[in-house]
Amino acid sequence: MLKQTIQIFGRVKPTKKKTALQVTTSSKMVYSVNNEEPTGANLEFVVPKDEADGIVNNKKECYMFRFKRVFDQAVKQEEIFENIAKPVADSVLAGYNGTIFAYGQTGSGKTFTITGGAEHYSDRGIIPRTLSYLYERFSQDSSMVYTIHISYLEIYNETGYDLLDSRHEASRLEDLPAHVEGSDSRVITNPYVEVKEFLYEQEPIIIYLFKKVIIMEDSDQNIHLRNLSMQQSANEEEALNLLFLGDTNRMIAETPMNQASTRSHCIFTLHICRRDPGSAILRRSKLHLVDLAGSDRVSKTRLNGHLLTEAKYINLSLHYLEQVIIALSEKNRFHVPFRNSTLTSVLRDSLGGNCMTSMIATIAVDKRNIDESISTCRFAQRVALIKNEAVLNEEVDPTLIIARLKRENQLLKEELTLVTGEQKEDQLAVEEIQKLEELIKAFLSDPDPEIRLSLGPDMRKIQYCFFLLKRMVLAKQEEGKRHRDGHYSAATAVQKEGLQSAQHNAGEVTRLREMLTQRDNEISILVKMLKREKKRVNDAGQLVDITEGQRLASKNGSTKPMLGEGSTDTHSADRDTRAVQYLKKGPQLSLGKQEAFDMFIRDNEAHVSIENNKSLLKQRSVDAKRLGEQLNEARNRITELKKQLVLRRKRRAVHVAVMGNEFEEEVDSVEENLRKQIEHEKKMYNSIIGQLKSLKMEIEHLQLLLEKAKVKLQKDFHNWWSQETTGICVGGHRQMSHRVGEGNLATSFT
């Protein structure tokens, strides 16, 4: 059992204005970081008194808080992972539960710290870096069997939803239950009451149904989540795809404090099982990576409508979380209100339970956010008082025990049969003899000294196995006798030695060829990905061409749809082709909407990020091709050196056979040099393979970033287009009503 307090860390968000960081009107620092203390780090805020408050002003100016470590603005994501997430991941691999959660006001960098940015590969957050680290450790520890399952829970307005639910289906709005509003409604009161998100055009509205996650508690006060799926992930690529799927389904909205504010709490959980192949003991552990929604001060942000409702639920859940923290930090409290909210119920083990927990306090040091940052630091100080008791999660797998007991039962039955003397007298079948020969070969070739040969209670099989063993021993003795009598000539010995060496080298070459074939397949997959991306851009250029006649028709009021995917019509390109890169798989767009989309992406920052990531992806593909060529060259050099080594050994053996053993050199310098060159080439070969692996991970992550950015760009355009069309329709309706009123008024006067 490990007893330790929750580790708290601080991270300062970079600011755009340097004046807010450096000096105030009193020429004092707004904040200062001191990581040189032996017992931790200090974060100090200086808030000068306002002269408008009068001469008598007892307001506190200096606030100092203690953390385990404070990360200033220039700190990179990699350093955050190495100092915060990596120790927790190591403890999870050892069998302890772990939790990392980020807390702070909205826009202070919580999602960037936990999940990462959507623009650059270096901006990966704690979750993708932890996944890479865990799978790397799995590959290094081949003595253990690891399995990992992933769940992604979202708590929106005090209701849980599974972000990885694969059972939801897209439905038309008119097919939904009666409590969902009709197709003419463009506002849904709660988008998570049976509805996750929707896109509407003139075609039918598409709705995505999600099931609610229900919290249940057993007699031992353990929390169970019904309707929360756990997806098994065999490799890092599958895990990143699940993360991308969950992030795509999250609720994100624009607020006055943050352009992309997450409006829900999200808990990404890794369920890890570790097992020794020869043992029935399992180690199960969980790692919670929590991205809390940011608190909003409504009096400052002036929220209304849905954003106000969401802010109420967010602030209420964070208030209940603070109540739980206060109750746990007070030694004389007997009741802790975990059941007040869904968030505190799910994080029950992480707060004062069987878990090793770390907290990241995200801090914004702009002048308008200083008060909220000080409140965040005060909350972190209370969290640091909570002590958790982490226990090694070991259990016995009943299925393995059952298998072991079955084997023991079978052995006892065989012994009993031998004692009673019940034996068969007929001859062994041909299939049985072949199986016995295979068992004997496997028994003799197994290096394990404790291996047992299980033949059952049949004395016929036992006697035949003894016969086989005796025959093998006699054959070995006869072979040794021939060697002693000189039946083998020197040439025969050289030929046999060369044959054995050739067989050994052939096996090594076969293994290397299989490995190279696998690496070549990986490289070809990466090249195909790049070709598909190029083809998509070229197809977009062909599909977006519009003739001059269509332009004239559009001026006359016609709204012919654009060419959809799969069309074979081609024209000379004379307009921007960027729109089809994002929307050609979606519904067909009218010419007016196509032009609007061109204007939308021309001024959108996300489009610049997408183009930069595309260029980076092409560059990484070129690097992969270059490494592939180096890999082939290294493989050819290894093959050539091995041929030279085999030839050298043959010549040396012939020389010894002809001249005698007295002319044999103890160490052949040429052969030793060849072996050193082979080892050097093998190191280069393995180094190139490692670079290809890391390059493959980066390419896959860049592709996920591109897909995520494209989805977000589509949603942003649909929302913007809906607002624009709604405003035009409302304005036109008012103008038409005004004209009709004037006409009626004129008619009444006439």
Taking only the tens place, the pLDDT of each residue in 264-275 is 889 999 999 998
Q: Is 88 exposed, middle or buried (0-12, 13-18, 19+ CB in 10 A)?
A: buried
Contact predicate 100/289, CB 8 Å: yes
Q: Say which residues have a Cβ less than 8 Å from residue 671's Cβ, sequence separation at least 6.
A: 645, 648, 649, 652
How many residues does this entry show for the chain? Answer: 750
Q: Is 379 exposed, middle or buried (0-12, 13-18, 19+ CB in 10 A)?
A: buried
Q: Say which residues have a Cβ less than 8 Å from residue 256's Cβ, sequence separation at least 6.
A: 301, 302, 303
- Residue keyed to tokens 């920052």: 605
As a whole number of angstroms, the distance between CA 374 and CA 45 comes to 8
Alpha helices in 454-489 (DSSP H): 459-485
Conformation bin of residue 6: beta by default, left when phi > 0, alpha when psi is -120 to 50? beta
Please enumerate, by residue number, every residue annotated as part of a binding site for ATP. Answer: 104-111
As a whole number of angstroms, the distance between CA 390 and CA 367 comes to 40
Q: Which residue type, as a one-letter code, is found at position 745?
A: L
- Residue keyed to tokens 């969980």: 286
Taking only the tens place, the pLDDT of each residue in 49-60 is 766 666 666 777
Map residue 10 onto helix, strand or coil. Answer: strand
Q: Which residue type, as a one-letter code, is found at position 224?
A: H
Alpha-carbon torsion (185, 188, 191, 193), positive or negative: negative
Candidate from 146-150, 313-317, 462-466, 515-519 with smallest mean pLDDT: 515-519
Instruction: Give the N- to C-terminal CA distance of the chain in Å, as an integer.
Output: 95
pLDDT of 566 higher than 60: no
Say what the pLDDT of residue 167 is.
57
As a whole number of angstroms, the distance between CA 107 and CA 295 comes to 9
Q: Which residue type, as a one-letter code, is found at position 667?
A: V
As a whole number of angstroms, the distance between CA 78 and CA 99 comes to 19
pLDDT of 166 higher than 70: no
- Residue keyed to tokens 């609610």: 212
Q: Is 732 exposed, middle or buried (0-12, 13-18, 19+ CB in 10 A)?
A: exposed
Taking only the tens place, the pLDDT of each residue in 80-122 is 999 999 999 999 998 899 999 999 888 888 888 998 877 777 7
CATH dotted code for 2-168+210-396 = 3.40.850.10
As a whole number of angstroms, the distance between CA 567 and CA 234 comes to 38
Please enumerate, by residue number, every residue annotated as part of a binding site. Answer: 104-111
Map residue 166 onto helix, strand or coil. Answer: coil
Q: Say which residues have a Cβ less than 8 Å from residue 117's Cβ, sequence separation at least 6.
A: 123, 124, 125
Q: Which residue type, as a one-letter code, is found at position 1?
A: M
* Consecutive H or E run containing 199: strand 198-199
Taking only the tens place, the pLDDT of each residue in 387-428 is 888 888 888 878 878 887 887 887 787 777 777 766 666 677
| CA atoms within a 13 Å half-sphere pointing along the CA-CB vector of 158 | 14
The pTM of the full predicted model, rounded to 2 decimals, is 0.60
pLDDT band at residue 11 under the 50/70/90 scheme: very high
As a whole number of angstroms, the distance between CA 243 and CA 222 comes to 26
Q: Longest Cα pair distance anywhere in the chain, in angstroms?
A: 138
As a whole number of angstroms, the distance between CA 21 and CA 228 comes to 44
In this structure, what token pair is assigned to residue 450? 């404790």
pLDDT of 206 higher than 50: no
pLDDT of 569 higher than 70: no
Residue spans of the domains in the chain: they are: 2-168+210-396, 169-209, 407-485, 492-724
Taking only the tens place, the pLDDT of each residue in 311-333 is 788 888 888 888 888 888 777 77
Q: Which residue type, as a one-letter code, is found at position 550?
A: Q
Mean pLDDT, residues 528-535: 68
Find the Cα–Cα–Cα–Cα dihedral 155, 156, 162, 165, rounded to 10°.
Answer: -170
